Structure formats: C-alpha cells, structure tokens
Amino acid sequence: MLWSSWGKGGYVQAQARSTSGTLAGPWEQLGPLIMQDSGHGMLFHSFDGKLMLVLHRPFKRAIAKFYEMRDVGDRLEVVREAVELDGEAYPTHGCPMGVSDARC
C-alpha cells in the first residue's frame, strides 16, 4: 500500500504491506520511499514495461515527479528519479553533489 504522510521535510511517500497478504492485514509500516516534499503517489507500467511511480510535489513548484521502481517481492525500492520525464531542476531523491539545503 502506498500512502502519504508528513515528515521533517514536508510530505513523505510511504509504503506498508499486509503480513497476511489480504486487505484485512495486519499491516506493517515500511520505510519511506520518497522523503522530500512528495505528495500522493500511484504506480503504473510504462510503455516499455518499467514499473514507475508518479506523485505530485505539493506547495513549492507543484509538478508531477516520476521514479523508476523495483518490486522486490515484499516491498518497493526506488531505482532512480526519472528527471528526464519531469524536467525537475532540483531532484528530490537524494541530493545533487554539493547541495546541502532544505531540499535534500
């Protein structure tokens, strides 16, 4: 399950999994996927078959953000931020070299 919550840097895109494999749960909270200013997300497969996450960046420079994802069976992992799809000058997943401000 994907869900959005609030963290130190703004909205956080989080994940949880059902330990029973059913909607009824119980649910286990996993570590966040995206921590910097990330709104509600949705998974989809691209035309070339890649698993992708799209979410909105709320409040500041509101745009859609895209991430290539990996399903490792019991959780999702970010492969990379697909900045070529959103044109973001300030990536949100990891800090660009030399940047150490509130965006990272």
| Domain contains 68 | yes
| Length of the chain, in residues | 104
Residue 37 vs residue 65, higher pLDDT: 65
**pLDDT at site 89:** 58
Residues of the domain holding 64: 2-86
Which residues are CB-contacts of 48 (< 8 A; sequence separation ≥ 6)? none
| Domain contains 95 | no
pLDDT band at 87 (very low <50, low <70, confident <90, very high): low
**pLDDT at site 37:** 66
| Domain contains 14 | yes
- Check: CB of residue 39 under 8 Å from CB of residue 32: no
| Domain contains 41 | yes
| Domain contains 54 | yes
* Number of domains into which the chain is organized: 1
| Domain contains 96 | no
The model carries a pTM of: 0.76
**pLDDT at site 97:** 42
Q: Is 9 left (phi over 0), alpha (psi -120 to 50) or beta?
A: alpha
| Domain contains 91 | no
**pLDDT at site 88:** 63
